[in-house]
Chain A
């Protein structure tokens, strides 16, 4: 049984651009910054209690802290204080293009994505064949360097490589729209199946109808805080009202 439990979590980042630079500036006291840099609050006083079986949607404007919250759950961002307790293996479906090495072939990049998600032991020829087939990339192109792929082909391969992996907790960040219309349609169905199979699902999307369809509980985030939470329909209404007020 998986769970995600966050209590009074504060995540504080550091603006390293505000650091003192240059020994001369330090000695002459010319620089205004400190050696450490200035602190920037990323998440403030976040408390969540997500239990097995829940499907969670996170709503909020750009920069409100949605992705940072997912990264805190993943353990990428360290919390300054508070408790983060996550039980279950995480399947991250975030912006994963960063993990791609364009100098390697599509086939090698599938393996690399398995490695980065910590599932190298699940990687084998069978799963590789399924991923290639699902991505729709032809056999003569899969061994080409990814720098020769179109952006749509890259997106399809990355999406396919991630979606064929298993996990207890799916964290999705705008994960439903990749590739061309045909692929989007195919991947949407597969993602829905995946979404229903996992123990806990959390998704971020600006598409409120998607959230309404997939989630039973929602959080609204604003300036790094949870400003409201509740049943999906109520939260969507509340979120839409906030947007219309602006």
Chain B
């Protein structure tokens, strides 16, 4: 276990490789389009405008500063879902490279998460800037802790995506399972509505929803300046431990022969 952490997640060279692959992938992704990197922001901005309109004007969700609330939640949810959706095929799609070069099998998965992190941060800055201009963005002192919580999200996400990418060649059904889980998560996690609108029993149950643990503490910190409670910190640690243990077992059992299943 120590070797996995040392050779992968704590290796400076590994992250240099990931960043380079992410940069080149972004170039391929947006290089073909006319508007280029404008699409980094255009797509989420459109989603936020329509979600904001439907939930505040049609469904009458009452929360202060709703555009900022939607932005923080929707962008983070998009970051998580896009990373998962594009990562589980990372090994299968790059198998011809993995068969010819002795590179870490998680390289493409991690770089995909970093690529989506870049898209997330760019969108957050630009859309946040637009909302700020229109006077709907508040700043809180506690926001200085945001990078720590974002780092936590990225770590959990990378480990989860690596796990899925190892399982996928053995069990392609996992793509449908992920699709279904993400669809459910989109509605049971309070990203379009405030947590206070959930029934008490559902709020308690949310501690077993990994998307709730990933998204809500971070977005409440940005939106309201509230630091996560002690219980939430315990839940966050529990989730990290759980995803790492699953990753460790999956890697140990399945990673060795994965090359033959792609």
Contact = CB atoms under 8 A, between A and B. Distances in A.
Given A16-B260, A76-B259, A120-B13, A95 B100 contact: yes
Task: For chain B, give the interface size range.
Answer: 20 to 34
A115 B27 contact: no
A166 interface: no
B101 A92 contact: yes
Contacts of A103: 28, 31-32
Contacts of A76: 98-102, 259
A140 B262 CA distance: 38
B228 to A, nearest CB: 38
Nearest to B260: A14
Interface in A117-139: 117-118, 120-121
A16 B261 contact: yes
A121 B33 CA distance: 31
B102 A90 contact: yes
A2 B47 CA distance: 57
A13 interface: yes
A108 B27 CA distance: 10
A78 B103 contact: no
B65 interface: no
Given A13-B260, A16-B260, A104 B24 contact: yes
A14 B21 contact: no
Q: Is the interface of A mostly helix, strand, loop or mixed?
A: mixed
Contacts of A3: none
B138 interface: no
B3 interface: no
Nearest to B29: A103
A116 B103 contact: yes
Contacts of A92: 100-102
Nearest to B32: A103
Contact of B20 (A14, A15, A98, A115): A115
A44 to B, nearest CB: 16
Nearest to B95: A98
Contact of B21 (A94, A115, A117): A115
Contacts of B20: 111-112, 115, 120
A183 interface: no
A118 B28 contact: no
A71 B32 CA distance: 35
A151 B17 CA distance: 27
B32 to A, nearest CB: 7
B96 interface: yes
Interface residues of A, number: 30
Contacts of A111: 20, 24
B231 interface: no
B252 interface: no
Contact of B102 (A13, A74, A96, A101): A74
Contacts of A108: 24, 27
Nearest to B99: A76
B202 interface: no
Given A14-B260, A78-B257, A120-B20, A99 B100 contact: yes
B125 interface: no
A77 interface: yes
A16 B20 CA distance: 32
Contacts of B17: 115, 120
B248 to A, nearest CB: 18
B6 interface: no
Interface string B239-262: 000000000000000001101110
Nearest to B18: A115
26 contacts: A13-B260, A14-B261, A15-B260, A16-B260, A37-B261, A74-B102, A75-B102, A76-B98, A76-B99, A78-B256, A78-B257, A92-B101, A98-B96, A98-B99, A99-B100, A101-B24, A103-B28, A103-B31, A103-B32, A104-B27, A112-B20, A115-B20, A118-B13, A118-B101, A120-B16, A120-B20
Given A96-B100, A98-B96, A115-B21, 9 more contacts: A15-B260, A74-B102, A92-B102, A95-B100, A98-B99, A115-B17, A116-B97, A118-B13, A120-B20
Interface of B: 13, 16-17, 20-21, 24, 27-28, 31-32, 96-103, 256-257, 259-261
